[in-house]
């Protein structure tokens, strides 16, 4: 439940939406206060509690980087071309009509559409979060969705909770959303990959299979998290075959229930922070003929529960954060 604004001296807090048990809007935060230890402490506690924070009235790259550092060390993108000029901590996430990643979703072309997932779930060490900021917003579309995996666990049938306790999910690094095996809700066909994705797809066999627990407990609160990323999931490690796939599909469809999704419609002057260990997110995609340009930071961290199942570890320079 979202905290009341009276708890905080340096900013105000309000619910992200009336019907969601997660998420908060942070307003009236003066960038000069970001260096105050008590501000960072309050923001970190709020982040753990809410999972998603929308910051109103913050819109410049310097503030973007400083705000991100309140939540941890930042990871620079391994590819120089993806880094923002003058701010290497910022990564450009851009769809351009002439050469961007274009996917047909239920017959409609969309630029940089991404299904529900957790960032870096396909490696053993998962980053803690990220902050997105809009640069160019299309006339419609381009939203980012969030689903709380704590709420997903809490609303899971008791028989499923018992069935999945102690199990692990295998993940592979395949960026083609048409290959998604679990939790699909759309007919998907990639019409065009951007160049960076093509180079990774050519080397996907080099990446090891990893595994993560299907359920884990949030250290700070003791709440259980339904730790599944439908995109990139290969199956249940302890239950190979049809029975395990059927169980995982039931869980995945529950995870991506749109009734529990918060869909953020971007406007200028906002930044959005999410807890990647707790939240699923998706990109609804931009109209095929319109540009969408975002910048994001990636906040370092490792919840310590992922491991390589088969294969050899690759360096961070060999993957990108989606």
Give residue-wise pLDDT tens across range 213-267.
Answer: 999 999 999 999 999 999 999 999 999 999 999 999 999 999 999 999 999 999 9
Residue 206's pLDDT band, with cuts at 50, 70 and 90, is: confident
The pTM (predicted TM-score) of the whole model is 0.93
How high is the pLDDT of residue 315?
A: 61
Q: Measure the CA angle with vertex 174, ends 172 and 176; round to 5°.
A: 150
Residue whose entry in the numeric block shows the structure tokens 């989606």: 322
- Which DSSP string corresponds to 280-300? EEEE--EETTS-EEEEEEEE-
The total number of residues written for the chain in this structure: 322
How high is the pLDDT of residue 204?
A: 79
Residue 18 reports pLDDT greater than 90? no
Beta strands at 102-105 and 188-192: parallel, antiparallel or unpaired: antiparallel
Are 225 and 277 spatial neighbours (Cβ–Cβ below 8 Å)?
yes
Least confident range of 73-87, 103-117, 161-175, 278-292: 73-87
Output the six-digit token pair for 301.
């961290």
Q: In terms of pLDDT, which residue wins out, 122 or 311?
A: 122
Rounded CA gap, 249 and 259, in Å? 18
User: In what helix (H) or strand (E) does residue 87 lie, and over which residues does it extend?
Assistant: strand 87-95
Rounded CA gap, 82 and 88, in Å? 9
Rounded CA gap, 97 and 286, in Å? 10
Rounded CA gap, 204 and 9, in Å? 49
> In degrees to the nearest 10, what's the CA dihedral of 234, 238, 240, 245?
-60
Cβ density class 125-149: b for 16+ within 10 Å, e for less: ebbbbbbbbbbbbbeebbbbbbbbb
Residue 319 reports pLDDT greater than 80? no
* φ, ψ of residue 273 in degrees (nearest 5): -105, 135
Q: In terms of pLDDT, which residue wins out, 6 or 277?
A: 277
- Which DSSP string corresponds to 11-60? -EEEES-TT-SS-EEEES--GGGGGSHHHHHHHHHHHHHHSEEEEET---
Q: In terms of pLDDT, which residue wins out, 302 or 109?
A: 109
* 77 CB burial (10 A radius; 0-12, 13-18, 19+): buried
Strand partners, 146: 262, 281
Helix, strand, coil percent content, the chain, rounded in steps of 5:
25, 30, 45
Does residue 109 come out as left (phi exceeding 0), alpha (psi in the -120 to 50 range) or beta? beta
- Cβ contacts of 36 within 8 Å, gap of 6 or more: 10
Residue whose entry in the numeric block shows the structure tokens 């290969």: 234
Q: What is the pLDDT averaged over residues 156-160?
A: 96
First to last CA, the chain: 28
CATH 3.40.50.2000 fits domain 5-318: no
Residue 2 DSSP code: P
């Amino acid at each position: 439940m979202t905290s009341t604004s009276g708890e905080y001296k340096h900013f105000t807090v309000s619910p992200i939406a009336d019907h969601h048990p997660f998420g908060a809007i942070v307003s009236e935060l003066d960038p000069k206060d970001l260096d105050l230890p008590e501000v960072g402490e309050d923001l970190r506690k709020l982040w753990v509690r809410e999972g998603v924070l929308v910051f109103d009235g913050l819109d410049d790259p310097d503030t973007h980087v400083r705000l991100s550092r309140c939540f941890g060390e930042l990871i620079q993108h391994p590819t120089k071309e993806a880094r923002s000029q003058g701010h290497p901590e910022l990564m450009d996430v851009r769809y351009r009509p002439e050469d961007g990643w274009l996917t047909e979703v239920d017959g409609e072309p969309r630029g940089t559409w991404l299904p529900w997932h957790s960032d870096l779930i396909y490696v053993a060490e998962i980053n803690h979060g990220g902050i997105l900021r809009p640069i160019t917003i299309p006339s419609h579309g381009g939203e980012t969705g969030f689903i709380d995996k704590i709420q997903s666990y809490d609303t899971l049938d008791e028989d499923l909770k018992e069935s999945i306790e102690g199990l692990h999910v295998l993940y592979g690094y395949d960026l083609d959303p048409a290959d998604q095996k679990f939790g699909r809700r759309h007919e998907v066909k990639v019409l065009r990959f951007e160049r960076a994705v093509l180079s990774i797809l050519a080397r996907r066999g080099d990446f090891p299979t990893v595994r993560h627990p299907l359920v884990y407990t949030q250290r700070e609160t003791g709440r259980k998290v339904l730790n599944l990323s439908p995109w990139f999931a290969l199956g249940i490690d302890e239950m190979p075959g049809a029975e395990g796939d059927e169980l995982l599909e039931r869980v995945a469809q529950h995870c991506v229930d749109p009734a529990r999704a918060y869909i953020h419609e971007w406007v200028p002057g906002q930044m959005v922070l999410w807890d990647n260990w707790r939240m699923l997110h998706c990109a609804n995609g931009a109209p095929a003929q319109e540009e969408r340009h975002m910048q994001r930071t990636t906040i370092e961290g490792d919840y310590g529960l992922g491991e390589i199942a088969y294969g050899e570890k690759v360096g961070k320079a060999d993957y990108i954060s989606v």
